[in-house]
Amino acid sequence: MAATIKYDEVQVGQEIPPVEYPVRRVDLVRYAGASGDFNVIHWNERVAKSVGLPDVIAHGMFTMAQAGRFVTDWAGDPGAVVSYGVRFSSMVVVPDDDKGAVITVSGKVESKLDDNQVVVALTATAGESRVLSRARATVRLA
């Protein structure tokens, strides 16, 4: 776990460096088991392509979870997240190879609020595509 970030040490406009989260097909199978979302487009290439997708795609909530993980790791406390929301803007295509895909998440402190809270704007990409939009987390810092 990262060190706990202190409110007084954070500035509006402060960049939070990007972190890369690899995604392989096995990760999607594990996520399906944990979430109960066994939709075949998340693990079967033949079916995914038959419905017009380029390949197997990651669950939207899996992608959202990686950005949430980025925020909790930065804050140093999963309980610090007061609110979190995103819009899904593109798919994370996960090829069936040893590399898979990579979700890259970065952030920027957008504003400081009362009660030691900050709003963090998040950017999440896979390849050249922005996969989440309007991604924001309100975090209560120490």
What is the mean pLDDT of the segment spanning 54-81? 97
pTM strictly above 0.85:
yes
Phi and psi torsions of 12, nearest 5°: -60, 135
The DSSP annotation for 106-122 comes to EEEEEEE-STTEEEEEE
Q: Which domains does the chain have, with CATH numbers?
A: 7-22+64-140 (3.10.129.10)
* pLDDT exceeds cutoff 50 at 1: no
Q: What is the pLDDT of residues 85-130, one digit of tens each?
A: 999 999 999 999 989 999 999 999 999 999 999 999 999 999 999 9
Q: What is the pLDDT of residues 17-33, one digit of tens each?
A: 999 999 999 999 999 99
What is the mean pLDDT of the segment spanning 49-69? 98
**Alpha carbons 49 and 38: distance in angstroms, whole number:** 16
| Average pLDDT of the chain to the nearest whole number | 96
The per-residue pLDDT for 4 is 82
